Amino acid sequence: MKIKWRKWNRAVHRDVGYFFFAMSLIYGLSGIALNHIGDWNPNYIITRKMVEVGHPLDQEITREQVLDLLQTYGEADNYKKHFMPNMSQLKIFLNGGSLLIDVETGEGVIEKISRRPIFHAVNYLHYNPKKWWTWFSDAFAGALIVLASTGLFIIRGRNGITRRGAIITAAGIIVPIIFLLLYY
């Protein structure tokens, strides 16, 4: 009996593609995000607001004084802890941010931080958080090889791998080869 390999090829390509649809989005989005990690913070949205206390602060500032200070900016309920990282700076940790003040000038900056929707989650997954996730992402990597290989043989004829498909596939192979020849 003749094996209908094209039929099986299409079925494998279709079902593997369905199953790993979400993984393709996860690694596609996080890949772009992490490629440009030098240009933006893909995990967090950080906003900064300059503040002016108006007077120098005591280096031995108490918790109560810190809470009074935070009251001015509506952040008293977010207080976590404070400390002096050096002789001239006071750092107050808040839930969802911090306040850094120059104790000599009274000038400071409130930094608020929140997780970037979608991207924080997909980047977390990209960094292989657990062993079983590593296995699943290995399976996805293998599936990409299967998808790429089976994809070559989906279409027959003018647009198939023997004609137009061959030219486009060759173009895609040439790009990494040129890069390797130039920089490797």
Q: Where along the sequence are the contacts to another protein (CB under 8 A)?
A: 22, 37-38, 41, 43-44, 46, 80-81, 83-86, 89, 91, 93-96, 98, 100, 113-115, 117-118, 120-122, 124, 127-129, 131
Q: How far is the CB of 39 from another protein (least distance, A)?
A: 10
For another protein, which is the closer residue by CB, 97 or 165?
97
CB 54 within 8 A of CB 116: no
For another protein, which is the closer residue by CB, 98 or 150?
98
Q: How far is the CB of 142 from another protein (least distance, A)?
A: 21
For another protein, which is the closer residue by CB, 41 or 149?
41
For another protein, which is the closer residue by CB, 44 or 179?
44
For another protein, which is the closer residue by CB, 167 or 180?
180
Q: How far is the CB of 167 from another protein (least distance, A)?
A: 35
Return the sign of the alpha-carbon dihedral for residues 26, 32, 34, 37. Answer: negative
CA-closest candidate to residue 53, choices 69, 66, 68: 69
Tokens of 154: 């989906």
CA-closest candidate to residue 16, choices 125, 133, 127, 151: 151
From residue 139, alpha-carbon distances to 27, 97, 123 in Å are: 13, 38, 18
Q: How far is the CB of 177 from another protein (least distance, A)?
A: 22
If one counts every other C-beta atom within 10 angstroms of the C-beta of residue 42, the result is: 19
CA-closest candidate to residue 95, choices 74, 69, 77: 77
Q: How far is the CB of 179 from another protein (least distance, A)?
A: 16
